[in-house]
Amino acid sequence: MVTVNVRREIAAPVEDVFGTVADIDRFSAILPHSVKVEHLNGKKTGIGAKFRETRVMGKQENVNEFEITEYIENERVRMIADTNGTVWDTLFEVREEAGKTTIDVEMDARPHKLLPKLLNPLMKGLFRKGIEKDMDLLKEALETGNRDEVDEED
């Protein structure tokens, strides 16, 4: 198993940070490499919500199906996908400290096929860079006034 941990401090209320990462429509709006989201069961967020996200990685599109398996509003949300021989278990935890929000992301990549068992440890750095990029885009959107991209639609 490979585990990646990333932490960011964001000058935004915890409700904004959590509300963005826990709602794939809002989160994907700030990620230029997230090009399509499909809701699979009518639930957009909360435990049991399932969605398919398409991301462009290099010159290829990568499609993953996720399910939210843990959801405590303004505290944590867990999303799980089983793709390409690996269970991707990503936990976002948020807490407000001194007027800022700290977000901790922990992604566990648990391979269940031979090739990912061999390759995932070698790709840990790439996994980390991807999560860091997503968190940097989140921080930028929430701190620089690009909130119209992440505000909930009425």
CATH number of the domain at 2-31+74-149, please? 3.30.530.20
Query: Which of the 8 DSSP states describes residue 121?
Result: G
Residue owning tokens 């919500």: 49
pLDDT of residue 99: 85
pLDDT of residue 152: 46
> What is the spatial distance between Cα 23 and Cα 102, in angstroms, rounded to a whole number?
18
pTM of the model: 0.91
Q: How far apart are the first and last CA of the chain?
A: 41
pLDDT in tens, 95-146: 998 889 999 999 999 999 999 999 999 999 999 999 999 999 999 999 997 6
* Three-state SS at 145: coil
Amino acid at 115: L
pLDDT of residue 58: 86
Residue 90's nearest CA partner among 70, 104, 106 is 106
Question: Is 113 within 8 Å of 105 (Cβ atoms)?
Answer: no
pLDDT in tens, 46-75: 999 999 999 998 899 999 999 999 999 999
Residue 134's nearest CA partner among 12, 25, 9, 27 is 27
Share of the chain above pLDDT 70, in %: 94
Share of the chain above pLDDT 90, in %: 88
pLDDT of residue 40: 96
pLDDT of residue 91: 98
For the chain, what is the largest distance between any 2 Cα atoms, rounded to a whole number of angstroms? 46
